[in-house]
Amino acid sequence: MDVFLFSFICCKLMFFLSESSFASDTITSSQSLSDGRTLVSKEGSFELGFFSPGSSKNRYVGIWYENMPVKTVVWVANRINPINDSSGLLVVNETGNLVLTSQNKSVVWSANLSKEVQTPVVLQLLDSGNLVLRGERDGGSETYLWQSFDYPSDTLLPGMKLGWDFKTGLERRITSWKSSDDPSPGDFI
């Protein structure tokens, strides 16, 4: 009887641990996020995953507020290149690049890092809503290999900057969606 009770509790505990391990804010090198799974920032402010906007059936990777009753998307990765089924995979590949693939591993979108990265890389969704790629050992530093804040969609969040960055040559601007069903760039910048 005791053995039964013990294994019952162990089983429950393992179930609880495996459940809670889904609510992660990071993926590391050679791991991936499939359609249906999400990353949640540490304090639960933002969530990253696959979504279909409005009445569209297309799948996009985006970031939205975790606890808003109406899904409010603040950033979209593959704005102009939707996936037409649930085969999407967001991967941190072996050379440290962030790549979104669909059927047959065809690349739908990538973060387009300018150089190959040798060190192990971590993708993390921060509570600011910033999705960052950083070296695994650069825990607290704010030096990122790539960050979504440098590539705004249609939403400016606190901490984001607009305009020309002289150091990187980046021109950051926000662009409206084409419609509520289509996040591809619309008429207004």
Give contact residues for ligand NAG (rule: CB under 6 A).
84, 93-95, 97, 99, 103-104, 107, 110, 112, 114
Query: Could you tell me the smallest distance in angstroms from the CB atom of residue 110 to ligand NAG?
Result: 4
Are the C-beta atoms of residues 60 and 35 closer than 8 Å to each other? no
User: Smallest gap, in angstroms, from Cβ of residue 77 to ligand NAG?
Assistant: 12
Question: Smallest distance from the beta carbon of 106 to ligand NAG, in angstroms?
Answer: 7
Shortest separation between residue 107's beta carbon and ligand NAG, angstroms: 5
Q: Write down the least CB distance from residue 144 to ligand NAG, Å.
A: 16
Long-range contact set of residues 62-66: C-beta below 8 Å, sequence gap at least 24: 62/183, 63/125, 63/129, 63/131, 63/148, 66/40, 66/41
Q: Residue 64 pairs with which residues in a beta bridge?
A: 47, 73
Query: Are 183 and 174 contacting, i.e. CB atoms less than 8 angstroms apart?
Result: no
Helix, strand, or coil here: 133?
strand
Compare residues 41 and 101 and give the one whose CB is closer to ligand NAG. 101
Token representation of residue 1: 């009887």
* Closer Cβ to ligand NAG, 45 or 58, answer by number: 58
Q: Among residues 110 and 175, whose Cβ is nearest to ligand NAG?
A: 110
Give the DSSP letter string of 13-60: HHHHHHHHTTS-SEEETT-EEETT--EE-TTSSEEEEEE--TT---BE
Of 79 and 177, nearer to ligand NAG (C-beta) is 79
Q: Using the minimum distance from each CB to ligand NAG, give the nearer residue, 43 or 94.
A: 94
